[in-house]
Amino acid sequence: MNTFISLTRNFFQPSFFAWKFSFAIVMLAMGACSEKPDHENEIPLVVVTTTHLYDLVDSLAGERVQVLSLMGPGVDPHGYKPTSRDLSSLAKADLIVFHGLMLEGRMGHALEQADKKGIPSIAATSDIPQALLLSSSEEGTDGHDDPHVWFSPEIWSVCVNTVMNKLIELDPKSEAEFRENAQVTLRQLEEIKVWSLDQVRQIPPERRKLVTSHDAFRYLGKELGLEVIGLQGISTSIEAGLADRANLVDFIKKQNIPAIFVETSVNPAAMNEIAKESGVFIGGELFSDALGPPGESVIGPEGKSFDLDSWGGMMVHNVSTLVKGLGKKE
Amino acid sequence: MSANRQTKETFIPDFDPIDTFVTPWSTHAEIAWNGQIVTMGILVCLACGLVGSFIVVRKLALMGDAISHGILPGLALAFIIMKSWALFPMFFGACVAGLLCSFCIEWLQKKSILKPDAALGVTFTTFFAFGVLLIAMYGGNAHIDAECLLYGEIGLIPLAESLSLGGVDLGARPIVSMFVVTVLVIISVTVFYRQLMVTSFDFTLAKTLGLPVTLIHYGLMLLLALTIVSSFEAVGVILVISMLIFPSVTANFFFRRMPAILFCSLPLSFVYSIGGFFLARWLDCTIAGAMVLVASLCFALGWAFGPNGGLAWQLLDRLNDKPGNKNARSEGCAVEGQ
């Protein structure tokens, strides 16, 4: 033990030296912060946060850029935590496209800052006119806007243009191609909008009520004339209270709602219990905060096939599930 | 779609040394980005380790837990009054709340029949609940919530806004403030080393010597609050607590004297931060979590093989059957004073 004590004494003597040394390292590391990314001759890397944005950027510039999505299918953006590799891809990105409107929570703020730090970044929702946005809660007390704008073809087309302009800025040579792709995408939005309205008209008006886990579908409801009731609030991070549950069960019984729906990115346990208590069946899974898995498809307007991991497939799947669950007119 | 995204088929991915150790440092952008993460990690571990050593010898290991939760109402009030995320009101609010929390704990301990741990539990949960209520009632779009306090994200540090002084870019704000706090901690620990030691180990002697015992206690608490406030944004309070405790208890398996234990915070902070970074890279998980895992691993190694009360040495003594030695070792587990 004596050896250790003497070791210790010697150890402490040069400590000021060591501290100075560590300061030098810290200073060096800080000096390195001001470096800018330098890889221009490769194809640009566009990092996006959600699956919706992956689909959007991929359909606009699939060939011209490399697209990387941080969140996979079935990931809830409200509770997403970036992993080490996700962060490295952000460091390498030539453009970051994120959703905005607080969908990514605190990460959204950090990504906004990236623009000032030399990594171009844009919120896809940044150009949406305020008048089109819904407030997150009916009381409108906390002033957030509902971020689930992809359910409205009208608003999503604004996002398409925002992202297109940013992509043109990134790669001006491919402007014509981006514009052409955007036209195709916008035509598809319009086509699906018309088809969805047509489908929903088959549901008897008194049954046009969508009961689901969280308040994600209010734009869809507004678009299609459905009444939307969510168990949880706008963010999935706040658990529903007991009173909310009891109210919802009463509501379902009173309104004679035939089916309620669960979401792929939210734990279905609570909705299953509510279905049991109120004696209705689960009408199916809806895609809310994330698109579907790759490799599966659904038949949409005019017998065309849509991939579930695309915006079109998501809309077609959701609308057909709703129509099937709530029942057509006899 | 998943072609571009790394899907995890297995729980523990294959270990690829090139991808783990070399790829993160292959471009300028990545060196700058990852360098900032590692630097922040080192600063957090160092500041927490130094303050934590004194906290642990004073048998106040969970005081860090208490203060880190107790600062929530301070942060919330600072936000509600200033309506912004401004740096100084937030620091000020958090420090006041942290000090108040430690004061309440002391006061409850002295004035009621509560045991110290119960007093601690009662106080900080009350503070935390008060903070949660404040945010729920007035916070509205305050971008703080309990979750943001409990889990930080060290990986997003490079994206934090820059702090510039007189046109010179100093770097990301959390790193700069953490650097300042770390320097402050090192200076105070060096200058007030004797006072801190005496009050930590021999309370009666400290009183006889006429040292301002209470002042020193609250000075240490202030230092603790400052360290926690500047690091919670990066690693989250749960991980701050582990960074406060791990360095000194790990060092304790190797050294018995306080100066050596304090000094051990430096190499350990490098090991935790760099090791955590590479572990996170390998497992593709969050960095702060990996840092604590590395800290736990170091602790386990110290416990197994440390010369000061380590399991291997105890076993060796028992095999040699030298009762004198055995006594010496078991006594050696505690940290000695001057």
User: Contacts of residue A294 in chain B, CB cutoff 8 Å?
Assistant: 1-3
Q: Is residue B61 part of a domain?
A: yes
User: Contacts of residue B147 in chain A, CB cutoff 8 Å?
Assistant: 237
Q: Verify whether the Cβ–Cβ distance A12 to B5 is below 8 Å.
A: no
Alpha-carbon distance A77 to nearest alpha carbon in chain B (angstroms): 15
SS (H, E, C) chain B: CCCCCCCCCCCCCCCCHHHHHHHHHCCHHHHHHHHHHHHHHHHHHHHHHHHHHHHHHCCCCCHHHHHHHHCHHHHHHHHHHHCCCCHHHHHHHHHHHHHHHHHHHHHHHHHCCCCHHHHHHHHHHHHHHHHHHHHHHHHCCCCCCHHHHHCCCHHHHHHCCEEEECCEEEEEHHHHHHHHHHHHHHHHHHHCHHHHHHHHHCHHHHHHCCCCHHHHHHHHHHHHHHHHHHHHHHHCHHHHHHHHHHHHHHHCCCCCEHHHHHHHHHHHHHHHHHHHHHHHHHHCCCHHHHHHHHHHHHHHHHHHHCCCCCHHHHHHHHHHCCHHHHHHHHHCCCCECC
Instruction: Please tell me the distance from the alpha carbon of residue B19 to that of residue A329, in angstroms, as a whole number.
Output: 58
Mean pLDDT of B50-71: 90
User: Contacts of residue A37 in chain B, CB cutoff 8 Å?
Assistant: 27-29
Instruction: Please tell me the distance from the alpha carbon of residue B172 to that of residue B163, in angstroms, as a whole number.
Output: 6
**What does the pLDDT read at residue A264?**
83
User: Quick count: other Cβ atoms within 10 Å of Cβ B16?
Assistant: 12
Instruction: Please tell me the distance from the alpha carbon of residue A147 to that of residue B111, in angstroms, as a whole number.
Output: 51
Residues 6+ apart with CB under 8 A from B143: A106, A109, B85
Q: Is residue B9 part of a domain?
A: no
Instruction: Please tell me the distance from the alpha carbon of residue A125 to that of residue A28, in angstroms, as a whole number.
Output: 38
Q: Verify whether the Cβ–Cβ distance A81 to B161 is below 8 Å.
A: no
The beta-carbon neighbor of A83 closest among B35, B259, B285 is: B285
The model's pTM: 0.80
CATH number of B178's domain: 1.10.3470.10
Quick: pLDDT tens for A61-93.
Answer: 878 899 998 887 777 777 788 888 888 888 888
Q: Verify whether the Cβ–Cβ distance A117 to B281 is below 8 Å.
A: no
Mean pLDDT of B295-323: 86
Residue A140: is its pLDDT beyond 50? no
Residue A236's pLDDT band (boundaries 50, 70, 90)? Answer: low
Q: Is residue B4 part of a domain?
A: no
Mean pLDDT of A45-74: 88
Residue B40's pLDDT band (boundaries 50, 70, 90)? Answer: very high
Quick: pLDDT tens for A266-317.
Answer: 778 888 888 888 888 888 889 888 888 888 888 877 778 888 888 999 999 9
The beta-carbon neighbor of B179 closest among A1, A26, A111 is: A26
Q: Verify whether the Cβ–Cβ distance A38 to B35 is below 8 Å.
A: no
> Taking all residues of chain B, what is their mean pLDDT, rounded to a whole number?
83
**What does the pLDDT read at residue A181?**
93
The beta-carbon neighbor of A11 closest among B42, B256, B260 is: B260
What pairing do the DSSP bridges indicate for beta strands A297-299 and A305-307? antiparallel
Q: Is residue B214 part of a domain?
A: yes
Angle A175-200/A153-170 helices, nearest 10 degrees?
170
Length of chain B, in residues: 338
Domains identified in chain B, total number: 1
Domains observed in chain A: 45-190 (3.40.50.1980), 201-326 (3.40.50.1980)
String of DSSP letters for A221-243: HHHHT-EEEEEE-SSTTSPPPHH
User: Contacts of residue A5 in chain B, CB cutoff 8 Å?
Assistant: 256-257
User: Contacts of residue A119 in chain B, CB cutoff 8 Å?
Assistant: 29
Q: A20 CB near a chain B CB, below 8 Å?
A: no
Q: A13 CB near a chain B CB, below 8 Å?
A: no
User: Contacts of residue A309 in chain B, CB cutoff 8 Å?
Assistant: 1
Alpha-carbon distance A85 to nearest alpha carbon in chain B (angstroms): 6
Mean pLDDT of B303-309: 88
- What is the domain extent for residue B178? 21-161+171-331
- For residue B151, give the amino acid letter: Y
Tokens of B108: 């409850």
**CB environment A229-239: b (16+ within 10 A), e (fewer):** bbbbbbbbeee
End-to-end, the C-alpha distance of chain A in Å comes to 90
Closest chain A residue to B256, measured at CA: A5
Closest chain B residue to A295, measured at CA: B1
Please count the residue pairs, one from chain A and one from chain B, whose beta carbons lie less than 8 angstroms apart. Answer: 177
Q: A17 CB near a chain B CB, below 8 Å?
A: no
Q: Is residue B7 part of a domain?
A: no
Mean pLDDT of A213-233: 83
Q: Verify whether the Cβ–Cβ distance B266 to A18 is below 8 Å.
A: yes
Alpha-carbon distance A278 to nearest alpha carbon in chain B (angstroms): 31
Tokens of B120: 């601690």
Nearest in space to A190 (alpha carbons), one of A293, A97, A315: A315
- For residue A21, give the amino acid letter: F
User: Contacts of residue A116 in chain B, CB cutoff 8 Å?
Assistant: 161-162
CB A24 within 8 A of CB B12: no
Does ipTM top 0.85? no
CA atoms within 13 A on the CB side of A318: 32
